[in-house]
Structure 1
């Protein structure tokens, strides 16, 4: 729980506005800090900025001028997505100005316990399900926050000492922490991702593992035991180890964690729920459920409550989300798959032939890692900046139908028209959305809207 340090009259720069920056600025104003907002965009038409100006906040927009750093700042709270490599932050580092993200502030001021969830994949589903599980307790509320789309500083004033904040944490957010403390830390997995931001796999993993840095012996680390590298890393920290596993079931897992045996999920040798309770597809989601169940048991949720919640849980929007099942064709929205590993997970979730839709922002990587997982792909409909690169991988994999399009709507429309009975039409872009869409949510909504429109205008006429 936080220390509630005094920020009164501190000079604080909020770097990057948007949803997170707005919440940070509003929080700091309440703490009576002297706030300056800097954003590269034009903020003059934003009505929320007008209100902040009335509170004495200074605005510097239209770029990141280096001379702004000539003013003494006690700290910078930056938008997680802004890389440290930009000249402005490099100069701030040279001047030894502390640079944090909003989750650092939230941890320092929160009265509630923080349950932090991070990982290359699975963290959103785990976070969402866990919050649902914790609402079943008799005492205390559970609040969602963090990378799931709810700024952490918007919820900490609501949450009391009896509550938990279930916080999804990206590597971008964790990189900007120093004193952040999660009483329970969940690491779903760590693969290679976001190298355009972190530059090396080592730096990426280092950022993820900061979720454990300030834990004590009274805290818990819930982690994927089947990932040998992760199992090695977590031993270096102080928290109690709570593994979850579907592959390696040894005595340590049986006595300390959550695992699958036969058709059941167990926790510390106690039979909890049958696998048949899980309604979301894919073995990766079994792992997500294991992680959530482990935390739920630590927090005292009953087996019956766990069973009821898991049976009702249908997954997260934009994460292998069922859209429609019509005339023997199933449509899934996996717009949150912004990296190759997430797309591999989606491809492995289906045994049926797949009409695959993918593409997006070109981050400089190739897509050869997808090749071993494309055996079930009956057609590829690729769009955006990466379409040619992706096409090379699909051609190497022997996919016969490979078509290139300028945008998602065109690609989706063609996949819809060529889909056959017994097939899955899957949007799993494997890329960030920013070449054409502001975020993956908008991209997923465009896909859903296109499918729904096509079902009305061009219904299947199979006999």
Structure 2
């Protein structure tokens, strides 16, 4: 008898899971309380998959044998609670897809740097000529790629929400970049619950697998003593000489396992201390996979930064414009400011997420010559930095923000868009904000 597979959420991952479910012989029903994008609606219809939008038919959903849940649906939603009461297994698309592939999986999680590290990892493996897919929280649905079954390797960016719903997911290499407070509203405002969720990336690994982790991160250091991972633990560090992993000094990144490789940091395409750490994590995994030294070096040197993440746009009148629109929290803006080498005009602001700007104060005093606020309500930023920076003004359009920043700049300066806030007050999303920035820079 066919099992009933219910997919909750009709975005990229949900539709991918529906297609894979159909291929594997499930009776598939997809339900989304919102409305589906036209391309997803077409895909489902063409593949003869039943779906509904604008509602959840509870009776039909509660009759499921297995539920694949979108990471965006809160764990405490009443429908999810009721499914749990009925002991219906609830899994993520990552878990579901992993059950139907024998490909090697490199899975990357962390509070910051996931997208950059996953994209760089994919770039290294592609340069080596390997057959590799990039998915998870980035790019294509992992499940849909498994439907077509054409890859020997998968690089997956994975969020804590996706890890919450894994049962047997077992990557060959798991990478944990860092743990800083994020999404705590979904974890009873307890950092340790959020951290435990991240550690689920390694819980099913065995002694043939590898767990690459940030040796410098206090949250990871505390929990790694408690967890019982069977994987080979490979640390990477920006401050400590680790013999069984990788480490950086002022000049080089040194990979020690399984082969010794030295990589000159001055040649890295990605700028900033945090990106040296991200590059080291990817290179460590590549070394474990026995990627040739020349490929690792070339890939780190010629990699193009992820769009909207410390993306160099253009030099106008000797002033460099950098788009870091993806910096939607204070921690991400901290990394961006830390990486600035020249006097900086900082464009900041948007929808505040309860930000505390005090941790940015030393960097602002040292590096920022002017602040251009870009938001509907800039009062918190003005309160934090008035009197700290000589020039601080308010704008509420990207055109005004870019032109004002240009006026403050001099040859050799940098204009940095790193908002530390969400974008929804003036823009559709951070991509829209970054694209408008690039357009206005080109119009100068």
| TM-score, normalised by the number of residues in structure 1 | 0.87
1:242 aligns with 2:230: no
Q: Partner residue of 1:373?
A: 363
Asked if structure 1 preserves the Cα contact closer than 8 Å seen for 2:321 and 2:416, the reply is: yes
Classify the secondary structure of the residue corresponding to 1:295. helix
Q: Give 1:152 shift.
A: 0.9
Matched residues, number: 438
Alignment of 1:374-453 (within 5 A): 374-375=364-365, 376-384=367-375, 387-395=378-386, 398-453=388-443
- Report the counterpart of residue 304 of structure 2 in structure 1: 314
> 2:74 aligned with 1:83, yes or no?
yes
Deviations 1:353-395 (A, max 9, x none): 2222223334344433333332222222233466333333333
Matched, 1:60 2:52: yes
State how far apart, in whole Å, the 1-side matches of 2:425 and 2:341 are.
31
Closer, same or farther: CA 151–436 of 1 in aligned 2, 3 Å? farther
- Is the Cα–Cα contact under 8 Å of residues 273 and 303 in structure 1 kept in the other structure? no
1:5 corresponds to: none
SS at match of 1:211: coil
Q: Name the structure 2 match of 1:341.
A: 331
- Shift in Å, 1:120: 1.2
Answer yes or no: is 1:17 the counterpart of 2:6: no
Match of 2:160 among 148, 151, 171: 171
Q: Answer yes or no: is the 8 Å Cα contact 2:327–2:333 preserved in 1.
A: yes
Match of 1:181 in 2: 170
State the partner residue of 1:459.
Answer: none
* Alignment partner, residue 87 of structure 2: 96
Tell me if 1:197 matches 2:186. Answer: yes
Determine if contact 1:136/1:301 at 8 Å carries over to the other structure: no
Unaligned 5+ runs, structure 2: none
Compared with structure 1, are the counterparts of its residues 196 and 447 closer, same or farther at alpha carbon in structure 2 (3 Å cutoff)? farther
Two-structure CA RMSD over aligned residues (Å): 2.5
**Per-residue deviation, residues 331-374 of structure 1 (Å, max 9, x unmatched):** 11112212221111001001322222223334344433333332
Cα gap change, 1:48 to 1:116, in 2 (>3 Å): closer
| Aligned: 1:258 with 2:246 | yes
Q: Could you tell me whether the CA contact under 8 Å between 2:69 and 2:92 is conserved in 1?
A: yes
Conservation of the 8 A alpha-carbon contact between 1:358 and 1:427: yes
SS in 1 for 2:278: helix
Q: Please list, as runs of the form range in 1=range in 2, the aligned pairs for 1:151-166 lying within 5 A after superposition.
A: 151-159=141-149, 163-166=152-155
Secondary structure, in 3 states, of the residue corresponding to 1:127? helix
1:323 shift after superposition: 0.6
* Residue in 1 that maps onto 2:291: 301
Matched residue SS, 2:313: strand
Q: Which residue of 1 aligns with 2:21?
A: 28
CA distance in 2, matches of 1:352, 1:122: 23
